Structure 1
Amino acid sequence: MDHKEEHLQSSEMLRDIVIGMSDGLTVPFALAAGLSGAVSSTGIIIIAGIAEIAAGSIAMGLGGYLAGKTEIDHYNSELKREYEEVDAVPEKEKEEVREFFGNLGLSEEVQYKAAEEIAKDKKVWVDFMMKYELGLDKPDPQRATKSALNIGLSYVVGGLVPLSPYFFIDTPVEALKISVLVTLICLFVFGYFKSRMTGVHPLGGALKVMLIGAVAAGAAFGVAKIFE
């Protein structure tokens, strides 16, 4: 059964969606709010919003790709080093295996037997050291690409929410009113589920996420009005 691996992958996907969606809902929302206080055409806001969503999704996706690639490179580097240590200082590596089982409360006899059994297969031995000595699980080789796509697409979906009213309403300030209502509701719902995933109090987390979005949009609108 591959249940554990599927669980890990889905957790990583949810984390990517949270990263992309949180910025996607907030940044274009603040941009649209700011422009609504400075321009009289929703067309300008739509063009600027789409441009920001495109640039933001690419930037966020690239960041996710680099983070995933770094994770893979780090694992491969440590894997190579562990193979070298197993070849160069096998007794020291066996001692580390015995220490692990000793910390579990097993007798010295069982410790030695377990270490010798594991050491019979170099791959098993190295995998054991990677997981239990270094605390590293083998990453998905496609992790970087998947992360980039998940974050980028989530950013696009999130960004279209505050921008959508401007497609149907000609007056920026009127469109902003609908955008504020829709986006704050989405931020509240998003914050609620995000908080449940991370173990934070759902209602408090939802209100916090919604408040951050509201403050960002309000600040952008106010600054635009001042400079106008």
Structure 2
Amino acid sequence: MSVIAAAEPPHVAHRDNHTHRDVNGGWLRPAVFGAMDGLVSNLALMTGVAGGAVTQQTIVITGLAGLAAGAFSMAAGEYTSVASQRELVLAELEVERRELRKHPGDEMLELAALYESRGVEPALAREVARQLSADPERALEVHAREELGVDPDDLPSPLTAALSSFGAFALGALLPVLPYLLGASSLWPAVLLALVGLFGCGAVVARVTARTWWFSGLRQLALGGAAAGVTYALGALFGTAVG
């Protein structure tokens, strides 16, 4: 009876509510980090310069330079980081592929022992390991997931990470500059727009995490506001000292 029940299709409610979002695509972390970093760093940079009582033109040039430099730096850093991690995983996969080719029997026993350690009956564990090991590519995939914790077919893309980081940083860094480009003559419109952007980014991030939208939004607002306040104070202090 239990075998029949196991063969039945899943209940519609379970099927509809048991889908998962892509957590290994390599785009979410650099995009979120890029947007937040762009907002906070460029806002802090511009307020720090503004605290030194410089001209409006200097503030705008500083903001645009910070946008360009930060976006390219983030993209280069993400590409190098993800590419290095990917190359390391590929090297380890090649080691595993070589072991499967040279010692298939030992690798099959290793997989059976792993399943036994998780509570599978010894005879069943050996049979499962035997069937999975029949196809070398499937065996590699299983060993990679069990031993390395990675999916060989779903490795993050360096280019995706770089482009996500570049675009997100540029978009975030643009917000503090935008009021000046539209004709604003004081710092406050830039600060207000950037703070709204910080809250909005935090709220959007909450859509893909377990946090509430208001908590995530307020957290980003507080962190970004604190950074801007500190750098403005430092800019005013150093501007006065230099002047």
Range of TM-score over shorter length: 0.7 to 0.9
**Equivalent-residue separation in structure 2 for 1:153 and 1:23 (angstroms):** 12
State the Cα distance separating 1:138 from its structure 2 match: 2.1
Aligned to 1:136: 150
**CA 1:39/1:167 → structure 2, altered by over 3 Å: closer, same or farther?**
farther
SS at match of 2:27: helix
TM superposition score normalised by structure 2: 0.82
Q: C-alpha displacement at 1:170, in angstroms?
A: 5.7
3-state DSSP of counterpart to 1:218:
helix
Aligned to 2:197: 186
Work out the CA distance in 1 between the residues paired with 2:142 and 2:82.
23
Structure 1 CA distance, aligned partners of 2:55 and 2:210?
A: 43
Aligned equivalent of 1:78: 92
Deviates more, 1:75-84 or 1:118-127: 118-127
Maintained 8 Å contact 1:41/1:170: no
Q: Which residue of 1 aligns with 2:106?
A: 92
Deviations 1:131-189 (A, max 9, x none): 12221112657700111011011100100101111223463xx2x11111111111111
- 2:230 pairs with 1:216: no
Query: Deviation of residue 5 (structure 1)?
Result: 10
The amino acid of 2:145's aligned partner reads: K
TM-score (norm 1): 0.87
> What whole-Å deviation, never above 9, does each CA across 1:88-133 have from its counterpart, x for those lacking one?
3333311221123324533322222222222222221111100122
Contact 2:71 2:165 in 1 (8 A): yes
Q: Is the 8 A contact 1:71 1:139 kept in 2?
A: no
Over 3 Å counting, the alpha-carbon distance change for 1:98 and 1:141 in structure 2 is closer
Cα separation, 2, equivalents of 1:127 and 1:142: 16
Percent pairwise identity: 26
Q: Which residue of 2 aligns with 1:25?
A: 39
Cα shift at 1:6: 8.1
**Measured at CA, do residues 116 and 141 of structure 1 come closer, stay the same or move farther in structure 2, by a change above 3 Å?**
closer
Query: Which stretch has the larger CA shift, 199-208 or 211-220?
Result: 199-208
* Structure 2: unaligned runs, 5 residues or longer: 1-18
- Count of residue correspondences: 221
Tell me the equivalent position of 1:205: 216
Q: Which amino acid aligns with 2:175?
A: V
Residue in 2 aligned with 1:7?
A: 22
Pick from 53, 66, 84: which aligns with 2:67? 53
Following superposition, the deviation at residue 200 of structure 1 comes to: 2.8
Per-residue deviation, 1:196: 4.0
Partner of 2:7: none
Contact 1:65–1:145 (8 Å) recurs in 2:
yes
Decide whether aligned partners of structure 1 residues 5 and 193 sit closer, same or farther in structure 2, where only a CA change above 3 A counts.
closer
Alignment root-mean-square deviation, CA: 2.2
Which structure 1 segments of 5+ residues have no match? Answer: none
Could you say what secondary structure the match of 2:150 adopts?
Answer: coil
**2:82 — aligned with what?**
68
CA distance in 2, matches of 1:223, 1:182: 22
Distance 1:107 1:140 in 2: 31
- Deviation string, structure 1 residues 196-223 (Cα, Å, up to 9, x no partner): 4232343222212111111111111111
